[in-house]
Structure 1
Amino acid sequence: MKRFYIISTFYLLGLISVSFGISLILLSELGAGPWDAFFVALQQNLGLTVGSWTFIIGFILILINGLLLKQRPDFSALITMFLIGSFLDFWLIFVFIDMELSLLTFRFLALFAGIFCIGAGVASYMQSNFARNPIDHSMIVFHTLTGKSLAFSKTFLEVSVLLIALIIGGPIGLGTVIIAFGIGPLIQFFHKRVTTFRVRLTG
C-alpha cells in the first residue's frame, strides 16, 4: 500500500509539473510543442479551452489507437488527459490569465523553465504504468503497424501534428525547435535520477 501511494504521488506531481511547464511555454509566446500548438490553435479557431481540447483529442486518440490495434480502447488513459487538461486550464485561466511577459529575457526564462518542468514531470509520472498518455501510445501504435523505429514513429507523428498546427494558426516559433531538441535529453536526464529516488522511497 505504501508503494501505491508513493507511485501515485509521483504520477500526480508529474502531471502537475507537465501542465505547469506547458503553461509557462505558452506564456512565453516563443512557440509551443507540436501537440500543444495544435490544442491552442483549436481553442483559437473553435472555442472551448486548451485543457478541453487536450481531453477531447486524447479521447479521439484512445479510440483510434484501440481501433488500429483491434483492441479494447484503454479508457483509463482518459484519467491522465483529464488531469492534464484540468491542470492546464487552472494555470492558464486562473493563475496566468492577466500575466503578460514583455521583456524578451523573461520570455526565454519562462520557455526554459517550462521545458525544465515538462522534463521533470514526464520523468515523474512515468514511474507509474497507469493510464498511459494516448499521445505516447500513438507512437507505439505507429511503430507496431509500420515496423518503423520508435524514433522515426515519434518524429513522423510530431512533424505531422506540427504541420497541422502551423496550417491552422498554432503558436509555432523558435521555442518549438528548442522543445523538439531539448525535451528528450531532459526527460532522459531526469528519469534516471527520479527513478533512483523513487526506488529509495519504495525500497
Structure 2
Amino acid sequence: MRNRLIIGGFYFTGLVLLSFGISLIITAGLGAGPWDALFVALSYNIGLTVGSWTFIVGFILILLNGLLLKQKPDFSALITMFVIGSLVDFWLLVVFADITIAALGSRLLILLTGILSGAAGISCYLQSDFARNPIDQSMMVFHQLTGKSLSFSKTFLEVAVLIVAFFIGGPIGVGTLLVAFGIGPLIQTFYKPVTALRTKVCDSGEINKQTA
C-alpha cells in the first residue's frame, strides 16, 4: 500500500511538472511541441481553453485507439488527460495570465526551462503504469498495426500532427524543433535517476517495515 502511494506521488508530481513545462513553452512564444501547438491552434480558431482541447483530443484518441485495436477503450486514461488539461489551464490562465515577456534571452530561458520541466515530468509520470497518456498509446497502436519501429512510429505521428498544427495556425518555431529533438534524450537522461530514486524510496519503506 505504501509503495502504491509513493508511485502515485511520482505520477502526480510528474503531471504537475509536465503541465508546468508545457505552459512555460507556450508562454515563451517561440514555438510549442507538435501536439501542444495543435491544442493552441484549436483554442485560437474554435474557442475553449488549451486544457479543454488537451482533454477533448485525448478522449478522441482513446476511442480511436480502442477502435483500431478492436479493444475496449482505456477510459482510465481520461484521468491523466483531465489532470494535465486542468493544470495547463491553471498555469496559463492563472499563474502566467498577466506575464508578458519581450526580451528574446528571457523567452529562450523560459523555453529551455519548460523543456527540462516537461522531460522531468514525463520521467516521473512513467514510474506508474496507470492511465497512460493516449498520445503515447497512439504511438504503440501505430507500431502494432504497421510493424514499424517505435522511433519511426513516434516520429511519423509527431510530423503528421505538426503539419496539421502548422496549417491551422499553431505556434511553430525554434521551440518546436527543440521540443521535437531535445525532449527524448532529456527524458532518457532523467529517467534513470528518477527510477533509482523511486526504487530507493520504495525499498527503504520495505526495510523499515521489516525492522519495525
TM-score relative to the length of structure 2: 0.95
**Displacement of 1:59:** 0.2
C-alpha distance in structure 2 between counterparts of 1:7 and 1:199, whole Å: 10
Residue in 1 that maps onto 2:39: 39
C-alpha distance in structure 1 between counterparts of 2:42 and 2:166, whole Å: 11
C-alpha distance in structure 1 between counterparts of 2:139 and 2:38, whole Å: 17
Residue in 1 that maps onto 2:94: 94
C-alpha distance in structure 2 between counterparts of 1:36 and 1:89, whole Å: 12
**Displacement of 1:170:** 0.1
**Displacement of 1:25:** 0.4
Please give the secondary structure, in 1, of the residue aligned with 2:189.
Answer: helix
List runs of 5+ in structure 2 lacking aligned partners.
204-212
**Displacement of 1:21:** 0.3
Residue in 1 that maps onto 2:191: 191
What is the one-letter code of the residue matched to 2:2? K
Taking only aligned residues, the RMSD between alpha carbons, in angstroms, comes to 0.4
What is the one-letter code of the residue matched to 1:168? I
C-alpha distance in structure 2 between counterparts of 1:11 and 1:144, whole Å: 26
Please give the secondary structure, in 1, of the residue aligned with 2:102.
Answer: coil
CA radius of gyration, larger in? 2
Moved over 4 A (4+): none
Aligned length: 203
C-alpha distance in structure 2 between counterparts of 1:119 and 1:61, whole Å: 22
**Displacement of 1:132:** 0.6
TM-score relative to the length of structure 1: 1.00
Matches within 5 A, 1:46-195: 46-195=46-195
C-alpha distance in structure 2 between counterparts of 1:72 and 1:19, whole Å: 28
User: What's the CA shift string for 1:17-49, capped at 9, x where partnerless?
Assistant: 000000000111000000000000000000000
Identity of paired residues, percent? 65
